Amino acid sequence: EAGVTQFPSHSVIEKGQTVTLRCDPISGHDNLYWYRRVMGKEIKFLLHFVKESKQDESGMPNNRFLAERTGGTYSTLKVQPAELEDSGVYFCASSQASGEVYEQFFGPGTRLTVL
């Protein structure tokens, strides 16, 4: 069974540009999560989808970040325009259902560098 995949693995862009990150969850997982780790700091929650609906987007830092999950399958996270402080590793995770007993499976992350 394929795990969570993310694309690209690395992205280097200049301040002011736009970047779109993609996450493909494990097939059949309705729940999809985005997290971010800024260099050397904690992994922070960004948002949670249940199918195509945003269940919780309390961690989204500002309106330069837009997450979508059309059709309830893969998800994209767009940063527009990117700022220096957006640099970090963006992780995606998926789970069969929501709740503590349902393990979240993480992808390898996308390392974003904003110059």
Partner 1 sequence: GDSVTQMEGPVTLSEEAFLTINCTYTATGYPSLFWYVQYPGEGLQLLLKATKADDKGSNKGFEATYRKETTSFHLEKGSVQVSDSAVYFCARTSGGSYIPTFGRGTSLIVHP
Task: Please give the residue ranges that form the binding site for partner 1 (CB under 8 A).
Answer: 3-4, 33, 37, 40-45, 48, 56, 91, 93, 98-100, 102-109
Instruction: Tell me how far apart the alpha carbons of residues 8 and 108 are, in angstroms, rounded to a whole number.
Output: 10
Instruction: Tell me how far apart the alpha carbons of residues 67 and 19 are, in angstroms, rounded to a whole number.
Output: 12
Q: Cβ 99 to partner 1, closest distance in Å?
A: 5
Considering only CA atoms, which of 25, 36, 34 is closest in space to residue 94? 25
Q: Cβ 41 to partner 1, closest distance in Å?
A: 6
| Pairing state between β 110-114 and 10-13 | parallel
Closest to partner 1 by CB, 25 vs 86, is 25
Q: Cβ 4 to partner 1, closest distance in Å?
A: 6
